[in-house]
């Protein structure tokens, strides 16, 4: 019946967030994929310029619902860098604890989502049940379940008590057993293997050329992990290994994530056993001196880069975020080539996409992408004022 164009998205059960994958099909085989982004651009970067640094702590957290802490960590690291503020060691440990707890719950969540994409709802229910254990820990320590509001500029806002430590260590024992169980399921369950093995191949050279990051790159045998390559927080103290596999397929991405769960548990155990005494917060001024800073962390999905330019006021002058999903999208288009329609959801899910975090504005002219023009910040500001004035709105 010739080629059929199947629109996956902007609204589709396989995608949790609205983006468009137009797939050209020859029967069940994928001939071509056209990825179009820009459906949920939220303008957070611009909005941040209108708020104080304290208020931005909570806005920057809302870039992503899953890896919220990686973003807020980047933000505080940037601000502290410009201030030249050295935060207390105990605060650094608590921040690392949160980064790792977040990786745990993100990877459990991803395992479930991947299971759901291939119709394995039972796996989905079980992993989310275990994720709940991590969420309870986060809730217990920070008071919130998703956007923890844990960081302040100069440290953390809440301390980890002796009781919390015991509870965290107990939960880690339980989660370690569960991670072992999921590893066994992932590499021994025939139906999962049928759907994951040799699916969504990404060769190491291609992964490098297309700037894949995080577990996606590590599953292609590229040992890239910001925690090791450019240690931040207290990763220099903690012993852990960078997990890589060389299968280059979806199964490799599953295995990498399950083994990273085990590594995270190891890190958390170390942190809880070696938690130093001391303060958790240093007072920081409201006004940040002029300067610029760039910070990158290993979010659960890969390298997350934040850039801050300050101008000596209470508010940032420019803020820029590049989340891991944007870096992984070109590789996704490559992975989707020459696959089956049935593999599309799991391949897209395998990069653990977070569309809302990465979205960019896309200018369209007659349905085609407009070639970009480079304009200065000042020009953009004037354009904005004009745009609002033309419509009679208050800028």
Partner 1 sequence: MERIDILLSIVYLLLFPGFLFLFAFSLFTEYLDRKIYARIQRRVGPPFLQPFADLVKLSAKEDIVPEKAEHFMFTAAPLIGLAAIFAAFLYLPIVSTTGLHSFNGDLVVVLYLLTIPTLAMFLGGWYSGNVFGQKGGMRVASLLFSYEIPFFLALLTPALLQGSWKMADITRFEATHPLEFVVSLLGFFIGLIALQGKLERLPFDIPEAETEIVAGPLVEYSGRRLALFRLARDAEMVVGAGLIAVVFLAGPEPILPLEPVYLSWLVAALVFLLKTLFVIFLLILLKSAVARIRTDQMISFAYQWLIPLTLVQIFIAIIVRFFGGI
Partner 2 sequence: MKTPGKMLPKIIGFIFRKPVTVRYPKERLTPPATLRGKMKFHLDRCISCGLCARDCPSGACTMHEIEAKKRPVFDLDYCTFCAQCAESCPKDAIEMTAEFELAHYKKGEAIVK
Residues 8-67 that bind partner 2 (CB under 8 A): 51-52, 54-59
Burial of 228 (0-12, 13-18, 19+ CB in 10 A): middle
- Per-residue HEC secondary structure of 70-100 comes to HHHHHHHHHHHHHHCCCCCHHHHHHHHHHHH
Q: Which does 205 bind (CB under 5 to 8 A by kind): partner 1, partner 2, none?
A: none
Report the first-to-last Cα separation within the chain, whole angstroms: 53
* Helices 162-188, 121-142: inter-axial angle, 10-degree rounding: 170
Q: Is 224 in the site for partner 2 (CB under 8 A)?
A: no
Q: Is 130 in the site for partner 1 (CB under 8 A)?
A: no
Q: Counting Cβ atoms within 10 Å, is residue 370 exposed (0-12), middle (13-18) or buried (19+)?
A: exposed
At 113 the three-state DSSP class reads: helix
Q: How far is the CB of 343 from partner 2 (least distance, A)?
A: 19
Nearest CB to partner 1, comparing residues 4 and 385: 4
**334-373 residues near partner 1, rule: CB under 8 A:** 340-345
CB of 25 to partner 1, least distance (A): 8
Nearest-10 Cα torsion for 251, 355, 16, 116: 10
Binding site partner of 345, from partner 2, partner 1, none, Cβ cut-off 5-8 A by kind: partner 1
Which C-beta is closer to partner 1: that of 12 or that of 145?
12
Q: Tell me, residue by residue from 179 to 208, as one string, x for binding to partner 2 by CB under 8 A and - for no binding.
A: --x--xx--xxxx-x---------------
| Residue 139 within binding range of partner 2, rule CB under 8 A | yes
Partner that binds at residue 260, options partner 2, partner 1, none, CB closer than 5 to 8 Å by kind: none
Beta bridge partners of 305: 296, 322
Q: Report whether 353 contacts 331 (CB < 8 A).
A: no
Residue 144 as a binder of partner 2 (CB under 8 A): the answer is: yes
Binding residues among 4-33 for partner 1 as defined by CB under 8 A: 4-7, 12-14, 25, 28
Are 25 and 4 within 8 A, CB to CB? Answer: yes
Tokens representing 118 are 């291939």
Report which secondary-structure segment, H or E, holds 194. Answer: helix 190-196
Smallest distance, partner 2 to C-beta of residue 143, A: 4
Q: Which does 313 bind (CB under 5 to 8 A by kind): partner 1, partner 2, none?
A: none
Cβ atoms of 344 and 335 closer than 8 Å: no
Say which residues have a Cβ less than 8 Å from residue 143's Cβ, sequence separation at least 6. 149, 158
Task: Please choose, out of 1-9, 139-147, 251-259, 296-304, the segment that lies near partner 2 by the rule CB under 8 A.
Answer: 139-147
- Asked if 120 touches partner 1 (CB under 8 A), the answer is yes
Residue 133 contacts which entry, partner 1, partner 2, none (Cβ below 5-8 A, type-dependent): none
Q: Does 129 bind partner 2 (CB under 8 A)?
A: yes
Three-state secondary structure call for residue 7:
strand
2's torsion region: left (phi>0), alpha (psi -120 to 50) or beta? left
In the complex, the residues that contact partner 1 under the rule CB under 8 A are 4-7, 12-14, 25, 28, 115-123, 125-126, 129, 189, 191-192, 194-195, 340-345
In the complex, the residues that contact partner 2 under the rule CB under 8 A are 51-52, 54-59, 122-123, 126, 129, 136, 139-144, 147, 149, 152, 157-158, 181, 184-185, 188-191, 193
């Amino acid at each position: 019946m010739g080629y059929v164009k199947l629109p996956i998205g902007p609204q589709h059960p396989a995608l949790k967030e609205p983006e468009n994958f137009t797939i050209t099909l020859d029967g069940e085989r994928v001939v071509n994929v056209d990825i179009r982004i820009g459906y949920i651009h939220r303008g957070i970067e611009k909005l941040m310029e209108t708020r104080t640094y304290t208020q931005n702590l909570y806005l920057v957290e809302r870039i992503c619902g899953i890896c919220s802490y990686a973003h807020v960590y980047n933000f505080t690291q940037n601000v502290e860098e410009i201030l030249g503020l050295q935060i207390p060691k105990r605060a650094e440990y608590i921040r690392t604890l949160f980064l790792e707890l977040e990786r745990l719950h993100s990877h459990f969540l991803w395992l479930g989502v991947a299971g759901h994409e291939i119709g394995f709802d039972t796996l989905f229910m079980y992993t989310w049940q275990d994720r709940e254990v991590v969420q309870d820990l986060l809730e217990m320590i920070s008071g919130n379940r998703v956007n923890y509001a844990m960081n302040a500029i100069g440290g953390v806002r809440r301390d980890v008590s002796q009781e919390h430590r015991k509870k965290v260590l107990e939960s880690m024992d339980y989660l370690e057993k569960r991670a072992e169980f999921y590893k066994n399921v992932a590499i021994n369950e025939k139906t999962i293997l049928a759907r994951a093995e040799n699916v969504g191949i990404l060769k190491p050279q291609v992964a490098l050329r297309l700037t894949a990051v995080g577990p996606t790159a590590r599953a292609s045998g590229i040992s890239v992990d910001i925690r090791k390559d450019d240690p931040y927080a207290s990763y220099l103290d903690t012993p852990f290994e960078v997990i890589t596999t060389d299968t280059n397929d979806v199964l490799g991405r599953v295995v990498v994530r399950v083994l990273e769960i085990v590594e995270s548990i190891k890190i958390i155990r170390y942190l809880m056993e070696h938690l130093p005494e001391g303060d958790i917060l240093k007072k920081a001024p409201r006004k940040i001196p002029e300067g610029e800073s760039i910070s990158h962390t290993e979010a659960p999905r890969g390298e997350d880069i934040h850039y801050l330019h300050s101008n000596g006021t209470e508010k940032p002058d420019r803020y820029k975020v590049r989340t891991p999903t944007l870096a992984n999208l070109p590789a996704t288009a490559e992975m989707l080539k020459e696959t089956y329609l049935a593999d599309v959801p799991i391949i897209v899910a395998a990069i653990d996409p977070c569309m809302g975090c990465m979205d960019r504005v896309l200018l369209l002219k007659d349905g085609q992408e407009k070639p970009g023009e480079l304009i200065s910040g000042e020009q953009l500001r004037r354009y904005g004022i004009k745009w609002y004035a033309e419509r009679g709105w208050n800028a």
